[in-house]
Chains A and B, each alone.
Chain A
Amino acid sequence: MAWESRRRGGRYYTRTRRVDGRFVREYVGGGIAGELAASLDAMDREHRAESQRQRKAESEALRALDGMLAGLHDTCDVVTKGTLASAGYYQHDHGEWRRRGKRGN
């Protein structure tokens, strides 16, 4: 979005869009029409930027929460394994828990 200055004086508001890989400039208008279109575009940009900020904050909150849950998960696994091993069990091939034999195996 930009204002173009004309040689004969005055300014003209334009929008540039990408259509099929090519940049196309749309001439919106000067004067009040141009000012209005520029204001609407600025509001639209601000709205998009705000949505993007919200999405980023939301994503960060979800990541932080996931980190807490992963920490809880790992800590619980550690205490569970420790308790089971102390109670005489061992994990066979990272899977099933089996009771240890009398000779420590």
Chain B
Amino acid sequence: METEVRPDELLLAASEGDAEALEELKTLTPQMPGWIRDAYDLGRQTEDRIISLIAAKDRLSAEGVRMQAREMLQDLAGSDPSPLEGVLCRRITCNWLHVHFLEIEFSKAVKAGKDDRANMYQRWLSSAEKRLLQSVKALAQTRRLLGPNVQVNIAEKQINVTG
């Protein structure tokens, strides 16, 4: 039976090598699909939210961006992704959409000469780019450890993770 409890501390202890925590975690493994489903749903909601923000200002480009995100998700996930890979790929597309949205707003603010708005978007953009990079690294690392070696390309940047 699935519960709403997320034993973060247990996961942390197990991931740091605590054998007892690992044994306890194994008993909770059946709950993992539920957590992955939650993450997947959260990813879809986040994606919809970002696209609705873009659509509020430009409906046509929002549709274009939605298609781009869909293609990116398919390219990243491949034909037969594991549930975890699916979620990690969804997180990457969400982060990419976020960066894309902030870049559009930042350039609009710069063109309009609105320095305070440009600075605000610049700050959000820095943290969004950092998060995008982390999410790409996490996917590459997970595939390296749990599956075949992979190379991930995002926005023409190659991300390699070495062990």
Instruction: Specify the chain B residue showing the minimal Cβ separation from A72.
Output: B42
Quick one: CB contact mask for A55-67 with B, threshold 8 Å, 1 for yes?
Answer: 1000101100110
Q: How many A-B residue pairs have CB under 8 A?
A: 114
Q: Is residue A79 within 8 Å, beta carbon to beta carbon, of the partner chain?
A: yes
Q: Is residue A89 within 8 Å, beta carbon to beta carbon, of the partner chain?
A: yes
A interface with B by C-beta (< 8 Å): 55, 59, 61-62, 65-66, 68-69, 71-73, 75-87, 89-92, 94, 96-97, 100, 104-105
Q: What separation, in Å, do the CA atoms of A91 and B12 have in the docked complex? A: 9
Question: B124–A66 contact, CB under 8 A?
Answer: yes
A104, chain B: closest CB distance, angstroms:
4
Quick one: CB contact mask for B53-64 with A, threshold 8 Å, 1 for yes?
Answer: 100000000000
Contact status of A76 and B131, CB under 8 A, knowing A69-B94, A90-B16: no
Contact of B15 among A71, A73, A75, A85 (CB under 8 A): A85
Instruction: Please name 22 pairs of A and B residues whose Cβ atoms are closer than 8 Å in the assembled complex, sorted by A.
Output: A65-B49, A65-B53, A65-B98, A68-B46, A68-B49, A69-B94, A69-B131, A73-B131, A73-B135, A75-B38, A76-B88, A79-B32, A79-B84, A79-B87, A81-B14, A82-B29, A83-B32, A83-B142, A84-B146, A85-B22, A89-B145, A97-B141
Q: What separation, in Å, do the CA atoms of A105 and B21 have in the docked complex? A: 12
Question: B98–A90 contact, CB under 8 A?
Answer: no
Q: Is residue B25 within 8 Å, beta carbon to beta carbon, of the partner chain?
A: yes
What residues of chain A lie closer than 8 Å to B117, measured between beta carbons? 55
A47, chain B: closest CB distance, angstroms:
14
B54, chain A: closest CB distance, angstroms:
11
Contact status of A82 and B142, CB under 8 A, knowing A73-B91, A76-B135: no
A68, chain B: closest CB distance, angstroms:
5
